[in-house]
Chain A
Amino acid sequence: MKLFIWISLIIIFLSMLGTLIRVFKGPSTPDRLIALDGIGVMLISIIALLSIAFDTMYFIDVILLIAIMSFIGTVSFSKFIEKGAIIDRDSHR
């Protein structure tokens, strides 16, 4: 079981490195963003695997949080790429 977890961790980690290369190279900002989103998902799985390895429940919060953060981050980045600003000013004031 332990071996299985460690092998899975290493596989995920290697794929994380792969996506990190995409973050480095780009070439466009959306490429980097998608890679970052992927890294977020990989972080979730890493933490899940780690909490199995450490035999603890405490990191479940972290997993949820990353999921939310990753979503919010990706959305705000996307909006930034689209409009150049994250928070719009209310034009009907």
Chain B
Amino acid sequence: MEFVWLIFLPAVAALFVPSLFRRAAGIHTGWFVLAIPLVLFGYFSTYIPRVAGGEHAVSSFDWIPSLGISFVSYLDGLSLLFTLLITGIGSLVVLYSVFYLDRKKEKLGNFYVYLLLFMTAMLGVVQSDNVISLYLFWELTSISSFLLIGYWYTRDGSRFGALKSMMITVGGGLMMLGGFVLLGIMGDTYSIRELITRLPDYAGDPLFTLAAVLLLLGAFTKSAQFPFYIWLPDAMEAPTPVSAYLHSATMVKAGLYLVARFTPIFAGSSVWIWLVCGIGLLTLFWGSFFAVKQTDLKAILAFSTVSQLGLIMSLLGAGAIAYHTDDPLFRVAMFAAIFHLVNHAVFKGSLFMIAGIVDHETGTRDIRKLGGLMSIMPISFTVAFIGGLSMAGLPPFGGFLSKELFLESMVALKHFDLFSFGTWGVLFPVIAWIASVFTFVYSFYFVFHTFAGEKKADKLPLKPHEAPIGMLISPIILAVSVVAIFFIPNVVGSWLVAPAVAAAQPQLYSLPADAAIHVAAWHGPKSVPMWLTVGVIAIGTMLFTTMKSWRPVYALQPRNLSLNAFYDGLMSFSERGMNRLSRSFMNGIIRTYLIYMFAFLSVMTIVILFAKGAFELDMDSLSPVTLFAVLNAVVALLGAAMVILSKNRISAIIALGAVGYSVALFFVLFKAPDLALTQLVIETISVALFLLAFRHLPAMKTHGETKGNKLVNAIIAGAVGLSVTLVALSAHSNKLVASISQFYKDTVQTEAGGGNIVNVILVDYRGFDTLFEIAVLSIAGIAVLGMIKLRLAGKGSDDEKK
């Protein structure tokens, strides 16, 4: 079966959602939608045994074969893991949304169309083997996420958040496209598998590092890494199912997927390792530190997501180190990354759903107003407790295992010697440990400040009560999984994680089974990570209980020194600054624009003429100058001078006529009777037209010209005249081929049967030009008529009323 089509199944289903929403108004649309992720989840689950056995499945369909662009669905461990996350958590989120979104109040048609589009995009991102179609789906995730964040589009915050996330993720996506194209040029293919096999051909290419950095910019913006994480807290304006799905479990992990997918290509580059590892760790610390500052439930979760994504990112960077050393210590990192990715998707999804439930049942998400909900909402509390403790990394929850593995790989980093890790490597475990302490603090802060403490029922907008059971199903399933992962880590490890690790490091492992690491909850008293965890719990508990005394630290940060302020400043600068910039030269005065054009024209012509040595003067081919031609030229020049210098309009018109007549005389002198005839008539008519319009013209004014202005004009006019003269002279001196006019002379009688060469050329040899010049004249005539007759504005509007 061509399962590449399954990527498009949600998008196709999205076509029917609006009509279902309208026709079957009695049933919540979400029930219909629920079938799609469930079917996909079931279908893709059947691949687990094959993929765990080291096989992979490919299905493709050519889109633009001539450019090498196709939709290739490539299922290996990594893409299967993500596919299952997307469809699995997708099903739970749809189920949750059925109870979260009101059937009558909300525009469910819109919501599920966006959500299904997003599902297609996400499946496409993780299954695509072709980088161009990967980019296509990548941008589709940005767009559908934009639509979902702005779902309540009447709110300012939603629109702002949607726009901000769009700007940042699409900007990063474009960078990533640049990286893809560079890779495509270097490797001469768009297929990721091909790129990996051809790696030795281009690994030393000077563009290789640039491609790595561009690709990482895409991954960092999407996965909310420092300093691009700022869009994620603002994206919390989205409905909670969206936050749970996009901004914890799937879309923000697209960047991690990208890094894992391209690790086999870029792992050799030290820039890659340093960036992925360093930025990941910085994000981990930054996110965990600022999560404690937040007072909004979803904002805490957003910062915690940022921080956890940083954790996984740094592990992916550490995983790339495994390429440089045989030490089995570093093989843990990639496993830990994927394992934590699964854990995070599970517990963060449940936490978001709980935040949504709290919001739904109490009417507020402000943690300062909440408290003491434990006895009112016992099930929600249990789920939040499990999720929160898993996030903090405590046993007996899944998060504990992956956190242990994380600390283990971070400790291992100081044993790595290449790329000056020997000097700085020691910082990694320290920062990671401090970040873990803060993670512990905000997890407890989230759970206990919401559910424990005194009841503040009078502050809540709604009377709190336990959520309906339908809303609780999804978080309960997730919470059960969190606990289950702790007790059966090796089942998850060997069926899901190990194949993904083997796919992310194909050069290191031939079979997924080789990549499996035995995860145990108890490492014995000698294990370093365990003592680190004990330290985290001890210091974390201390910090949590004394939170009131040290939390004012956050007030120290000035408002205008945050990254958000920087983003806002950048946006308003690019809008206002660019506005001012364009207004500074687009001043609306035609004189100025003409100055730009003529200055550019003359300067370019003269510079190129001399820089390229194109100027040449050949005096031999000139014809003799007759006295009368000189005299006539004097007349023409005098007339031209008078046009410029005349103080009133009528003398300028007369002088213009004189110039025209002397041109006619030139035509006579150079033996062109037809031209002379036409020129005389046209000149007379145009002078007459000037006089016709004369009465309507305003008096000659200076239009605010100053002496300086006139000087500039004179200089530019001189330069234009000079450049045209120089070009004419060198064009005359550089004739490459003889004129074809001899042919006309020879054949005007025999071929065309005429005596007047000019007229024969006009109507016979080149009649086409004449045809269209007739057309030009007719258009001009019609336009003049239209201009005079049709007066829709101003005075003419009176006629309209009649």
Contacts and interface: CB of A to CB of B under 8 A. Distances in A.
A13 B684 contact: no
Nearest to A36: B654
Contacts of A52: none
Interface string A23-59: 1101001001000100110010011001000101011
Interface of A: prevailing SS: helix
A92 B6 CA distance: 83
A76 B688 contact: yes
B671 A56 contact: yes
A27 to B, nearest CB: 11
Contacts of B665: 43, 46-47
A50 B688 contact: no
A61 B677 contact: yes
B680 A62 contact: yes
Nearest to B646: A24
Contacts of A73: 657, 684, 687-688
Contacts of A76: 688, 691
Nearest to A13: B631
B628 A69 contact: no
Interface of B: prevailing SS: helix
A75 to B, nearest CB: 11
Contacts of B694: 80
A3 interface: no
B644 interface: no
Given A54-B671, A86-B691, A17 B635 contact: yes
A84 B669 CA distance: 37
Q: Residue among B654, B669, B681 with the most chain A CB within 10 A?
A: B654
Interface string B523-535: 0000000000000
A59 B658 contact: no
B688 to A, nearest CB: 6
B677 A65 contact: yes
A87 B694 CA distance: 13
Interface in A7-28: 9-10, 13, 16-17, 20, 23-24, 26
A89 B776 CA distance: 29
B23 interface: no
Contacts of B664: 43, 62
B650 interface: yes
Contacts of B627: 6, 10
B661 interface: yes
A56 B676 CA distance: 14
Interface string B628-646: 1001000100100010000
Contacts of A9: 628
A62 B695 CA distance: 31
Contacts of A84: 695
Interface in B669-685: 669, 671, 673, 676-677, 680-681, 684
B736 interface: no
B668 interface: yes
Contact of B668 (A13, A29, A36, A47): A47
Contacts of A62: 664, 668, 673, 676-677, 680
Contacts of B788: none
B654 A23 contact: yes
A68 to B, nearest CB: 9
Contact of A32 (B638, B654, B691, B695): B654
B692 A86 contact: yes
Contacts of B661: 39-40, 43
B325 interface: no
Interface string B689-708: 00110110000000000000
B423 interface: no
Given A36-B654, A80-B691, A86-B691, A69 B669 contact: no
A16 B635 contact: yes
B684 A69 contact: yes
B204 to A, nearest CB: 77
B651 interface: yes
Contacts of B658: 20, 23, 36, 39
Nearest to B692: A86
Contacts of A40: 661
Contacts of A87: 692
A24 B681 contact: no
Contacts of A59: 668, 673, 676
B695 A85 contact: yes
A66 B680 contact: yes
B654 A61 contact: no
A52 B627 CA distance: 17
B635 A86 contact: no
Contact of B681 (A23, A46, A65, A77): A65
Given A20-B658, A73-B688, A87-B692, A61 B673 contact: yes
Contacts of B688: 73, 76, 86
A77 B695 contact: no
B692 A72 contact: no
A73 B658 CA distance: 12
A47 B680 CA distance: 13
B650 A29 contact: yes
Contact of B684 (A29, A72, A85): A72
Contacts of A58: 673
A80 B695 CA distance: 10
Given A46-B665, A73-B684, A20 B638 contact: yes
Given A10-B627, A69-B680, 10 more contacts: A6-B628, A24-B642, A36-B654, A36-B657, A50-B628, A50-B669, A59-B676, A61-B673, A80-B694, A86-B688
Interface of A: 6, 9-10, 13, 16-17, 20, 23-24, 26, 29, 32, 36, 39-40, 43, 46-47, 50, 54, 56, 58-59, 61-62, 65-66, 69, 72-73, 76-77, 80, 84-87
14 contacts: A9-B628, A10-B631, A20-B638, A36-B654, A46-B668, A50-B668, A58-B673, A65-B677, A66-B680, A73-B657, A73-B688, A76-B691, A84-B695, A87-B692
Those 6 A-B pairs whose CB atoms lie nearest each other, nearest first = A58-B673, A69-B684, A62-B676, A13-B631, A47-B668, A80-B691
